[in-house]
Amino acid sequence: MIFFRKRSSNPLIRTDFHSHLIPGIDDGAKDMAHSLELIKELYALGYRKLITTPHIKSGQFDNTAAIIRQGLDELRGEFVKNGIDIHIEAAAEYYYDKTFLQAIREDNLLHINRHVLFEFSYMTPPIDLEETIYELKVREYIPVLAHPERYLYFHSKLDRYEYLKLLGIRFQINLNSLVGYYSKPVEHVAKYLSQKGYVDFVGSDTHHAKHIDSLQKVLKSSELDMLLKNNKILNDTLIEGLK
Ligand SMILES: [Fe+2]
């Protein structure tokens, strides 16, 4: 007999890998108050370590490592003032474009323990992927694809996921995908990746309060139980010394 636990918080995944919490630099938290509100909500859900990942996308979110580090410092300062006891680090969510390729070649990437989070276009499949992954790996970076379940052009070619894994790409799925937050097809593919054991990391991809509302549902779901049963989730290995 299988017993599904009912959870009001999240004792199993305490590190979030993927969010947009640095105020005012992308399409996530709008200002400091919004940012602190979202972070308090994530704390209430059981998260104790956050790896926030602002967009870096040429022409739309022209963020740099310096901008992101400054935002992180300001956020940490507010944690002290407001007595928020949560550990936060920053990396980035790189869009697969020329800026990303240049940062790889200059060996100037924001990463967490060598893990580099990147996303593809939602409209067109990536070109020259093998070469890019080679360039990352030769510099000892570990490529992590953000929300692989959200690229619709892979949905009719599920063997592409196996190919991406064979290239050495790790997968970060969005927890909210598991309960249909984005769409039914995205939910279906997230569950497929979960069943195949292809998921290495999970993320909240928090931009606003609606993501948190949905996460409350995910954390009590049988879909999360199945994910944790079928996959070795590495989130809590990203930052050492988790209490
Ligand atoms: Fe994101």
**Which residues fall within 8 angstroms of residue 124, CB to CB, at 6 or more apart?**
153
The answer to whether residue 9 sits within a structural domain is no
Q: Which amino acid is at 190?
A: A
- What is the distance in angstroms between the CA of the first residue and the CA of the last residue of the chain? 33
Write down the pLDDT at residue 11. 64
CA 2 – ligand 1 centroid, Å? 34
Which residues is 41 bridged to in the sheet? Answer: none
Neighbours of ion ligand 1 (CB under 5 A): 93, 205
111 CA distance to ligand 1 centroid (A)?
15
**CA of 29 relative to ligand 1 center, distance in Å:** 12
Residue 134 resides in a domain: yes
Quick check: is 3 in a domain? no
Kindly list the distances between the CA atom of residue 105 and the CA atoms of 25, 56, 206, in Å, as whole numbers in the listed order: 24, 16, 30
Query: 1 CA to middle of ligand 1, Å?
Result: 38
Q: Count the neighbouring beta carbons within 10 Å of the beta carbon of residue 212.
A: 19
| Phi, psi of 214, deg, nearest 5 | -70, -35
Would you say residue 7 lies in a domain?
no
Whether 118 maps to a domain, the answer reads yes
The DSSP code sequence of 96-132 is SSHHHHHHHHTT----BTTEEEEE--SSS--SSHHHH
Establish if 243 belongs to a structural domain: no
What is the Å distance from ligand 1's center to 20 Cα? Answer: 7
The pLDDT tens digits along the chain (243 residues) read 344 444 445 667 899 999 999 999 999 999 999 999 999 999 999 999 999 999 999 999 999 999 999 999 999 999 999 999 999 999 999 999 999 999 999 999 999 999 999 999 999 999 999 999 999 999 999 999 999 999 999 999 999 999 999 999 999 999 999 999 999 999 999 999 999 999 999 999 999 999 999 999 999 999 999 999 999 999 999 987 554
User: Rounded to whole angstroms, how far apart are CA atoms 25 and 16?
Assistant: 19
pLDDT at position 5 is 44
Using the mean position of ligand 1's atoms as its centre, give its distance from the Cα of residue 157 in Å: 23
Distances (CA, A) of 143 to 16, 70, 133, 136, 225: 17, 25, 7, 7, 26
36 domain residue, yes or no: yes
How many structural domains is the chain composed of? 1
Domain that holds residue 173: 15-237
Check which CATH number belongs to the domain holding 56 and give it.
3.20.20.140
Q: 83 in helix, strand or coil?
A: coil
Contact 219, 45 (CB under 8 A): yes
Is the overall model pTM greater than 0.85, yes or no? yes
Q: Does 21 fall in a domain?
A: yes
